[in-house]
Structure 1
Amino acid sequence: MAIRNASHAGSWYSDSAKELNKQLDNWLNSADLSHGPARAIIAPHAGYQYCGACSAFAYRQISPVVVKRVFILGPSHNVRLSGCALSTASKYRTPFYDLTIDTQIYSELDATGQFERMEMDVDEEEHSLEMHLPYIAKVMSSFKYNFTIVPILVGSLSTDREAQYGQLLSKYLADPHNLFVISSDFCHWGQRFRYTYYDSEYGEIYQSITKLDEKGMDTIETLNPASFTEYLRKYGNTICGRHPIGVLLQAAQHLAKGGQHKMSLKFLKYAQSSHCRNMNDSSVSYASASLIFE
C-alpha cells in the first residue's frame, strides 16, 4: 500500500492534529453557510497562515452527510503536463487520518486513456492537492470511513482539452454524492511573478488587483468557459488554477446543455497576502466559491 506522505505538514500548515483542529475550527466557525450544499468549491492552496481563513468560506458550504467521494483538481506547478494525471498512491496522509483513493473511479478514468500517472516524488512535491486534504479530513471527520478521494493533477490544457476533460467528468459532477474541490489561487502580482498589470483608474496597486480579480470572479460566476478564456486572454491574470477552473466550467456547461441541471456559482470570500503599493511589492490573491445545483 503506497501512502503519499503529508510532505508540507510542519511548514505550510501545522503537523499537530490538535493545533490544526483548533485552527480549522476557528476559521470554519467564522464563516457563514450561505451558498450550500456545495457540489463544487473553488478554494486556494497557499500556506494556511495566508489563505486558511479564506478557504473556510468554501468548506463551510459542504454537507458532509451526503458526500461519498471528493474529486480534487489541482494545477501542476512543478512538472509540465499536457493532460491530467492520477496518483500512484492508494492513500494520502493528513495529520488527522489517512484519506483513501477511490480505486473504482481511478479504474474508470484509466480506461478512458486520457490520464497518465504521476510518480510519488512528483505527487509529494506538489502542494495544490495536498493543501486541501486537512480541510477535507476535518469537514468529513464524522464520516471518515464512508468516503473516498479522487485526486487529479491538471496540466496546461488547451481549451479543447479542458472541454474534453469537462465532458468526461460531467457525469461525476452530476452525481449528488460527489463533491468537486477546485484548487486555485488568484492573481500572483509582482516582478517575481513577471506580472505587473496596473490600472491606476482604480487607485493603488492592490485596489487594481482587486478589481482585476473581481472581473475574473464575475466571469467565472457566469459558468461560461468561453468568457473565462477570453478574460484570461485579455488580462493575462496569473490565476494558477485556471485550467482546473476551466474543466469545472466545461463540465457545468455540458450538464446545462442537457437542460436537466440548473447551477449557481457564487464567490464568498476574497483576500490578498499583502497590499501592494509600489512596483517592488508582490502579493498573491485568494478566493473561495461554491457551486450549487438549484
Structure 2
Amino acid sequence: MSSTAPRRRATHAGSWYSSSPSKLDAQLNGWLNEVDPSAIPSAVEVASLSPSPLTSPLTLPIEGCRAIIGPHAGYSYSGPAAAWAYRCIPATTAGVRIKRVFMLGPSHHHYLDRCALSRCSVYETPLGDLKVDGETSREIMMSGQKGDWEWMERGVDEAEHSIEMHAAYVRKVFEGQEITIVPILVGAISTRQESYYGSLLAPYLADPDNFFVVSSDFCHWGSRFSYTYYRPSPDASSTSLSSTFRPREGDAPIHQSIRDLDDEGMQAISFPTSSSPSPSGSGAVQGEGKSAIQAKEEFAAYLKKTRNTVCGRHPIGVLLGALAELESQKGQKSECRFVRYEQSSECESYRDSSVSYASAFVRFL
C-alpha cells in the first residue's frame, strides 16, 4: 500500500488477548507445545453416521499443507484449539518458502454482500507488524467483474475481530520470516458467490508462495444466539428448546447434541472420505473418495438443514470453492481434515450457552 495508507491497530489486544509481547509469546508457545499429534483423530466420529476413515496417522507439521481453518474467539477460550491448526503449517510448501498469507474472515458487525480488502499498510500485533501486500490486494481488486470487491474502511477493519484474532498466531508461526498478508473480509454471500470468489482466488491457492488461513467458529448455542437446536438422540428429530425444557431419562445432554451437530458439519467439510474402512484397517481412503466439489455441496446442504450458527461458513465456502476449482480445472486433488474440536462450556440447560471451536488443515495430494 502507499506510504499514506493507515496502520491497522491491534484493537482487541488487552481485552481478547494479551497486549504484553512477552506474556502473549509465552501463551502461544505453551499452546503450540501442548499439541499432541497422537491425539489427532483418525476419523470424523459422527454418532448418527458411520465413521468415515481418513488418511493414515499424521506427523506435524503437515507435508503439503496449503490452508488451515481455525477459531477466532478470545484466546482464553479458543487459543488452545487454534494451536492445533497452526502446528500443521510447514515452513515451506512444495519446497518453496511461504511468502504470503491470505487471511479470510467473516464480517460480524458490518453488512457486506461481497468480499472486501484491507486499505491498511500494516496489521499491528503485540509480537510485531504484519505488512499487508498492497500489490496483491490491488491485483485481486481488479479481478472478476466491477463491483465484486470493495475496500474496507479503517473503522470496519479495526472493529472486526475474525482476522485480527489470527494475526498474532501468524506472526508467531512465521517468526523471523519476511511474510506479507492479504486480509479478505467475506460478506453474507450465496453459495454460488462462494464458488465464484473461490475461482478468483484459486490461482493464488495453487501458488506455493501462498498460504491460506480461514477464520471460523462453529456452533453458537443458546438463547443469546437465538439458536437452541437439540436432538435427544442421533436418530431423533431436531427441535428448538425453550425455557420449559426438561430432559427425559436417556436423552443426550445438550452439549452432546451440539457435538453431534458440529460433527455432522465437520464430516460434510472433510474430504476425501469413503463409506467403509479399507480392508487393511489402516485408515487409508479407498478409491477416489469424496471430492472438494462434493464437500462444498454437502456443507451447503447441511447448513440449509440445520441452520447451524457457523459464523465462518462463507469463508469456508470460498475455500472449498477454490479447492473445487483447482480440482475441476487443474486436476489438483486435496484433503481437508479436522484435527481438534472443543466447546467453551458444556451446556446442560436452556439457560446455558457455548461456542464451539474446530481446527482443520487442507493439503494437496
The normalised TM-score by structure 2 is 0.78
Tell me whether 1:198 sits opposite 2:210 in the alignment. no
Q: Please, which moves more after superposition, 259-268 or 249-258? A: 259-268
Question: 1:148, 1:47 → 2: CA distance?
Answer: 24
CA shift, 1:36, in A, is 3.9
Q: Secondary structure at the match of 1:201?
A: coil
After superposition, where does 1:163-242 map in structure 2 within 5 Å?
A: 163-201=195-233, 203-222=252-271, 223=292, 224-242=295-313
Does the CA-based 8 Å contact 1:54-1:287 persist in structure 2?
yes
After superposition, where does 1:31-110 map in structure 2 within 5 Å?
A: 31=35, 32=37, 33=60, 35-65=62-92, 66-110=97-141
Count of residues in correspondence between the two structures: 292
Does the CA-based 8 Å contact 1:276-1:282 persist in structure 2?
yes
Give the structure with the larger helix fraction.
Answer: 1
Gapped regions of structure 2 (runs ≥ 5): 38-59, 235-251, 272-291
Partner of 1:27: 31
CA shift, 1:82, in A, is 0.5
CA shift, 1:196, in A, is 0.4
Counterpart residue type for residue 326 of structure 2 = L
Deviation sequence 1:45-67 (CA, Å, 0-9, x none): 00000010000010001123421
CA shift, 1:193, in A, is 0.4
Does the CA-based 8 Å contact 2:68-2:362 persist in structure 1?
yes
Question: 1:142, 1:10 → 2: CA distance?
Answer: 24
Gapped regions of structure 1 (runs ≥ 5): none
After superposition, where does 1:146-165 map in structure 2 within 5 Å?
A: 146-165=178-197
Tell me whether 1:141 sits opposite 2:172 in the alignment. no
CA shift, 1:259, in A, is 4.5
The normalised TM-score by structure 1 is 0.97
CA shift, 1:258, in A, is 2.5
Question: 1:272, 1:167 → 2: CA distance?
Answer: 33
Does the CA-based 8 Å contact 2:61-2:90 persist in structure 1?
no
Does the CA-based 8 Å contact 1:35-1:266 persist in structure 2?
no
Aligned-residue identity in percent: 52
Q: Secondary structure at the match of 2:233?
A: helix
CA shift, 1:34, in A, is 6.0
Question: 2:91, 2:128 → 1: CA distance?
Answer: 16
Deviation sequence 1:122-175 (CA, Å, 0-9, x none): 1111000100000000000121xx210000000000111111100000001111
Counterpart residue type for residue 224 of structure 2 = R
